[in-house]
Chain A
Amino acid sequence: MKLILALIRRDLTLGMRQGGGVGTALGFFLTVVVLLPIGIGPDQALLARIAPGALWISLLLSVLLSADRIFQQDYEDGSLDIMTMGPVPFEMVALAKAVAHWLSTSLPLAVAAPLLGFLVNLEPAAILPLAVAMVLGSIALSLIAAIGAAVTVGLRRGGLLVSILVLPLYVPVLIFGLSASQPGAAPGLTAASLLILGAITLVSLVVSPLASAAALRSYLT
């Protein structure tokens, strides 16, 4: 466990110092949210209606944008080789790197998104449900992104492929995340959607380390 924490801590430090991941993702997110109301026009009722969806899509795309970096550098400089020779199962290494991505990119975005909602006229009543759904959903987003990043780690400019591979897997997160963050929905719907979102997150928590580790191994050999 201590070893895993060391890896997560290193990845967070790297993320902070290089600024690449968090900065790019946050900047992209901000750009989309700022441009959206300008593009759509000043119809406040329309903006309020599409606000949760717009924020979710921005979150999704921002996470995707930074996804291909999860394993890339460690693969290129041979760190991953050494990590397979460590005392920790490689699946845990893959999980740790996904967790580091979540902590450094997805979580800050998920927290910031509802607060930036005022830019798209998000109803105040929707802020809390949106924040809860996004924080929960962002875990799944990072875990799924890790699979895509692992599958394309040996490819230069794998970003496009990551998007294509990962997009279908993001659709369920988007659907249930969105229905969990509608403030005016039927009372049972929010809870049910959150539960399914939780289930998706748990499934990815199990599948992602296995799939990522298997994909990375096939590149390393």
Chain B
Amino acid sequence: MELNAKDLTCERGGRIVFRDVSLALAPGQLMQLTGPNGSGKSSLLRLIAGLNEAQTGSVQLTGGSEDLTIGQQAHYVAHQEPVKSALTVEENLAFWRDFLGGGDVDEALDAFDLSRLASYPAGLLSAGQKRRLALARIVLVPRVLWLLDEPTVGLDTASLERLVRVMATQLDGGGMIIAATHVPLGREPDQRLELGRAP
């Protein structure tokens, strides 16, 4: 299984954000995406997830399931947390389990130390706890490709370590991760991609 992106050009609101970006990612590889604000890190992740359309170029995930789109084989963690404040922590995850298919809620809660908060309304969570809840989703449902947009924002040291551990499990299991972040991720990324430099 391999992720290939060729000559991607992204345009937002008439402005070219980046041009001719190519990348290739093999199983077990972590790619760190860096670049100044506005250089299109989020746009690139959304492009790969199929949430945005590329002006030129194409993204392919070879060796995966033919019937599924890349988005259906990937997790995308954005800046905002898709967390419903009126539901409890556990209910939030249970919904995503039902909707995305499969997974063990307790295990996912445990991975980010949320077990004690399981019956809490998510509205009472702090920013960092909400972040952990959003991240718990990627542990909940196994998917081969993780697209993480600033995953470390709001996390304390212990949670960051948990994230690193979870990422290691994903990579050791043959998964792939692209993370847009400037924070060290606890291990040397296999690849770096810097956006915003003149081609």
- Give A contacts to B, CB under 8 Å: 2-3, 6-7, 10, 13-14, 17-18, 73-74, 76-79, 81-88, 220-221
Contact = CB atoms under 8 A, between A and B. Distances in A.
A87 B100 contact: yes
Q: Pick the most buried of A17, A18, A85, A86: most chain B CB atoms within 10 A of its CB.
A: A85
A7 B99 contact: yes
A126 B11 CA distance: 58
Nearest to B101: A87
Nearest to B92: A10
B153 interface: no
B86 interface: yes
Contacts of B76: 81-82, 85
A77 B98 contact: no
B83 interface: yes
Contact of B71 (A10, A78, A84): A84
Contact of B53 (A13, A86, A221): A221
Interface of B: 49-53, 68-69, 71-72, 74-76, 78-84, 86-87, 91, 95-96, 98-101, 137
A32 B60 CA distance: 56
Nearest to B95: A10
Given A77-B80, A85-B74, A87-B72, A221 B51 contact: yes
B49 to A, nearest CB: 6
- Main secondary structure on chain A at its contact with chain B? helix
Contacts of A14: 84, 86-87
B51 A84 contact: yes
Nearest to B52: A221
28 contacts: A6-B99, A7-B95, A10-B84, A10-B91, A13-B91, A14-B86, A17-B87, A76-B80, A77-B80, A78-B78, A79-B82, A81-B78, A82-B96, A82-B100, A84-B50, A84-B71, A85-B49, A85-B71, A85-B75, A86-B72, A86-B100, A87-B68, A87-B100, A87-B101, A88-B99, A220-B51, A220-B52, A221-B51
A201 B136 CA distance: 40
A184 B186 CA distance: 78
Contact of A18 (B53, B71, B86, B137): B86
Contacts of A82: 76, 82, 96, 100, 137
B82 A78 contact: yes
Top 10 closest pairs, chain A to chain B, by CB: A6-B98, A85-B71, A79-B82, A17-B86, A78-B80, A78-B82, A10-B95, A78-B78, A221-B52, A18-B86
B101 A3 contact: yes
Contacts of A78: 78-82
Contacts of A76: 80
Given A18-B86, A85-B49, A221-B51, A3 B81 contact: no
Contacts of A73: 84
Given A3-B98, A83-B99, A85-B49, A77 B83 contact: yes
Nearest to A10: B95
A87 B53 CA distance: 19
B139 to A, nearest CB: 15
A81 B82 contact: yes
Contacts of B78: 78, 81
Contacts of A221: 51-53
A192 to B, nearest CB: 42
A73 B84 CA distance: 9
A18 B96 CA distance: 20
Nearest to A96: B99
B176 to A, nearest CB: 16
A78 to B, nearest CB: 4
Contact of B87 (A10, A74, A84, A88): A10
Contacts of A77: 80-84
A84 B87 CA distance: 21
Nearest to B69: A85
A84 B82 CA distance: 13
